[in-house]
Structure 1
Amino acid sequence: MTGTRTGDVMTAIRSRIASRALAPDEKLPSIRSFAKRMNVSPSTVVDAYDRLAAEGIIRSQRGSGFYVCSPLAPLDLATIGPKLDREIDPFWVSRQSLDAETDMLKPGCGWLPPDWMPNDGIRKAIRKLARASDALLSEYGSTRGSKKLRHFLGRQLADEGINARPEQIMLSISGTQAIDLICRFLLRPGDSVIVDDPCYFNFQALLKAHEVNVVSVPYTASGPNMQRFAEALTAHKPRLYITNSALHNPTGATMSPQTAHQLLTLAAKHDLTIVEDDIFSAFEPSSSPRLASLDGLERVIRIGSFSKPLSASIRCGYIAARADWIEALIDLQVATNFGGPSPLTSEMLFHILSDGSYRKHMEDVRQKLSKKRLSVAKELSALGIVPWLMPRGGFYLWCTLPEGLDSAHIAREALKHNLVLAPGNVFSPSQTMAHYMRFNVSQMSDPKTLTVLKNVIASSRN
């Protein structure tokens, strides 16, 4: 940026802040007056102010102007947006699940049980790493991430009809960090982003951290409600849409080809970028249409990670996108993390994924989940808890509760009995899913789960 007119304006503001000519919480000069003073166009000042706001140096106050950020006021996510009951806060399930004691039951969590994971393959990879070179054990990784792992991903994407050249793939520290980098790259505070209603709760938490306007669109069994989606595009002019097109979280639905076509047509018309979070792709019995394959990575960004099928302890995600966007995202990753995932993590993942046992592991997991979904659906139905649909794969059942019951109340009461549940409004930006609950069928083998559910439901009716 140095040497450009925008960069000169940014340097001038930074210098004033550093010299205390502009104090914390003090208003910046108006755009027109500063443009005149710097002998630049107002649009240049607007660009500079927006970039400084994105860096957290200044902040925008609607209808008032720009102000210097206070260095003593760290971001408090709890103060952004409306105050919510803790039971329906987007952070609630994550915190309860991650901090749970080993004796707690977790049908509300978002991962497979330890004994379902390829632990023998992980141990084998760890033993190989014990003989790794000194460089691998001690140095930073490359900015794009392991070349071997990226080539493996390229072949995997090609099997799904996504033609991603090596320069279009980068590794990230996690799937969540991949979305965070994309938000840093494409969004500014006050921009609008479309999400599904319901959607993965951490989408909401992450977008709240970026101080953007979250616009929700009802999700159906075949994808977003396209009439409401079109209305949202016209009314809010969003920059981004974040979704799972296959094995949607939390509903388990898969987007139909017709909806995918309509969605991409509208995205092109309204200059909308789509982030396709495909973290559950390995759990599909057969690949369904993907927005990234239909679009060719023009305005769709594909992200994913290995936490669900392999191990949440071995964190690594990836981004597949336009080559010029990848270059910008790499710079952001260097700025925020000084590089991508650990070389040790990447090497371990490559050993596990390239071992022929991984394919067999996933076949076994898909078969176990297929049986488990049917048996758990039957057990829940006996309690009056009915699946919204039966997913093609994955480990979630999105269910309606018996009439008159509130899922947040049920979750609060179940927690007293060491049972972590995922109430519907955790996933709903509009807070209209109080009669829904998401269940992880892989975490429901212990008979105490259904016993606690039965007792809590019975006491809630009295």
Structure 2
Amino acid sequence: MLTSTRNADETRLEGVMSAIRGRIANRTLTPGAKLPSIRSCARSMGVSKSTVVEAYDRLAAEGVIRSRPGAGFFVTAPLAPLALAEIGPALDREVDPLWISRQALASGSRMAMPGCGWLPASWMPVEAMRRALRRLSRADAAVLADYGEPLGSPSLRTLLARRMAGHGIEASPGQVMLTDSGTQAIDLLCRFLLKPGDTVLVDDPCYFNFHALLRAHQVKIVGVPYTPSGPDVARFAEALDRHSPRLYITNSALHNPTGAVLSPAVAHRLLLLAEKADLTIVEDDIFADFEVEPAPRLAAFDGFARVVYIGSFSKSLSASMRCGFVAAPRGWIDGLTDLRIATCFGGPSMAAELVLALLGDGSYRRHMETVRQRLSASRETVGHRLKMLGIEPWIEPRAGMFLWCRLPDGLDASAIARHALEHDVVLAPGNAFSLSGSARGFLRFNAAQCDDKRIFLVLEKVMRAL
């Protein structure tokens, strides 16, 4: 059924045409699909039949649709390039997750970025990376010029298997495949496990790029409310019964954006529910090395029966020299490797060698010890300054960079983000993370990115104005 999405500047005729073009763009109407009858379209869109007739005639003249006498109107246009911003509910572009990411990635030095999801470059072990790169420059020509092995560096995969064992996760090097990032690992798993129309559970709130990535796979996304100890188990069980999801994607330790940690009791109940429902869980643990005290891992409890484990060094080491990995059931690795070859051919050879060098010489361990100490101090300082403005952290995180904060009653985070942008401050409003749109009164702050005094001055000014 077509429904009206006409904005104030459109005529009724333009609204009908825009609705049809939108349905074609987001692949709800594909080539050969029959359009609603003129009478049906007029009724559902609240316009006259003559308006629909003219709209169909104009679209036919453009070659978007064509008439078959006695049969109706059919889509003829080829599929438009997939536009992720067109999929899902209409969002204010200034709080769209992809828009936030674009602003943060393209902002340069003039913008303050308390809403971004990574550490400042000045926090990274740049000198250690330079030394490793100099050593790498003297490596064999094959390391510098050839494609990497399909699974990635055997030495790094062996080391990663040992590191996972420190979290109680037993995986052999043959169960580990290197990827370019954690995001690529999730993308490959979606290609491997899902088909359009399947249902995927996510936390509400969750990392906003999960929404964008899953929309690209054209699946149905269902959010489950998140609590300080993990997903709401009762609501999780309801979602399993109602939607029969294929997949659940989550962070178990240092949840993004809340900073919460999964409790052992909730982990146990989740795995029991997943087993009963034949649900696969993707455990995204890219913040593992920010952790101070060990938290439960679903993969450790499950032993890869139905949990797939993902890690990455993009947040902790370098977003430029990208290297991640996925650990999966042994029988899945060949299929995932084939998909990796089909989509990007070789593995991240040079990035893997750099990561291996920094892990092996102790540079990475020393770097992360410093990062954890700095983040602890920054969370305390930033949390105090936010409380002085009436902005309260939802919880006091044990570790990590994020503070998930509640605004004073009545304030809309999206409105604050729009006004802050006018002052070169990029914020991350709560509803970008919330599928249900229930986090309008929240902002995510990155404690490591809040040194700029403008941030708190702008927040105070904007909050007073609203």
Normalising by structure 2, we get a TM-score of 0.83
2:96–2:432 Cα contact (<8 Å) kept: yes
Establish whether residue 119 from structure 1 lines up as the match of residue 126 from structure 2.
Answer: yes
2:287 aligns with one of 270, 280, 288: 280
Query: What does residue 81 of structure 1 align with?
Result: 88
Partners in 2 of 1:339 and 1:214 — Cα distance? 31
- Supply the AA of the counterpart residue of 2:151: R
1:208 aligns with one of 207, 212, 215: 215
1:147/1:247 CA distance change after superposition, 3 Å:
same
1:305 aligns with one of 286, 304, 312: 312
2:407 aligns with one of 401, 406, 411: 401
Please state whether the residue corresponding to 2:138 is helix, strand or coil: coil
- Supply the AA of the counterpart residue of 1:97: A
2:452 aligns with one of 421, 440, 446: 446
Query: What does residue 275 of structure 2 align with?
Result: 268
1:275 deviates by 0.2
1:191–1:213 Cα contact (<8 Å) kept: yes
Establish whether residue 231 from structure 1 lines up as the match of residue 238 from structure 2.
Answer: yes
Partners in 1 of 2:304 and 2:346 — Cα distance? 23
1:92–1:426 Cα contact (<8 Å) kept: no
Partners in 2 of 1:405 and 1:95 — Cα distance? 25
Partners in 2 of 1:310 and 1:210 — Cα distance? 29
Q: Deviations over 1:264-313 (max 9, x none)?
A: 00000000000000011000102111000000111000001101110111
Superposed counterparts of 1:418-457, under 5 Å:
418-457=424-463
1:353 aligns with one of 356, 359, 380: 359
Please state whether the residue corresponding to 1:94 is helix, strand or coil: helix
Partners in 2 of 1:266 and 1:69 — Cα distance? 45
Partners in 1 of 2:103 and 2:81 — Cα distance? 24
1:451 deviates by 1.1
Query: What does residue 187 of structure 2 align with?
Result: 180
- Supply the AA of the counterpart residue of 1:273: T
Establish whether residue 139 from structure 1 lines up as the match of residue 172 from structure 2.
Answer: no
Establish whether residue 289 from structure 1 lines up as the match of residue 296 from structure 2.
Answer: yes
Establish whether residue 105 from structure 1 lines up as the match of residue 112 from structure 2.
Answer: yes
1:200–1:427 Cα contact (<8 Å) kept: yes
Count of paired positions:
398
Q: Deviations over 1:22-45 (max 9, x none)?
A: xx8247xxxxxxxxxxxxxxxxxx
- Poorly superposed stretches of 4+, deviation over 3 Å: 67-72
Provide the identity percentage. Answer: 58
Q: Deviations over 1:381-412 (max 9, x none)?
A: 00000000011100000000011110000001
Superposed counterparts of 1:337-416, under 5 Å:
337-341=344-348, 343-416=349-422
Partners in 1 of 2:176 and 2:252 — Cα distance? 20
Query: What does residue 42 of structure 2 align with?
Result: none
Please state whether the residue corresponding to 2:249 is helix, strand or coil: strand
Please state whether the residue corresponding to 2:444 is helix, strand or coil: strand
For the aligned residue pairs, the C-alpha RMSD in angstroms reads: 1.6
- Supply the AA of the counterpart residue of 2:227: T
Q: Deviations over 1:324-356 (max 9, x none)?
A: 111110011111111322x11111111112121
Q: Point out where structure 1 has 5 or more consecutive residues left out of the alignment.
A: 1-23, 28-66
Partners in 1 of 2:188 and 2:205 — Cα distance? 23
1:262/1:68 CA distance change after superposition, 3 Å:
farther
Q: Deviations over 1:213-254 (max 9, x none)?
A: 001010000000000000000000000000001110000000
Please state whether the residue corresponding to 1:346 is helix, strand or coil: helix
Please state whether the residue corresponding to 1:439 is helix, strand or coil: strand
Q: Deviations over 1:56-96 (max 9, x none)?
A: xxxxxxxxxxx999755221212222211112212122111
Query: What does residue 323 of structure 1 align with?
Result: 330
Q: Point out where structure 2 has 5 or more consecutive residues left out of the alignment.
A: 1-29, 34-73
- Supply the AA of the counterpart residue of 2:424: N
2:199–2:246 Cα contact (<8 Å) kept: yes
Partners in 2 of 1:280 and 1:290 — Cα distance? 12
Partners in 2 of 1:174 and 1:362 — Cα distance? 19
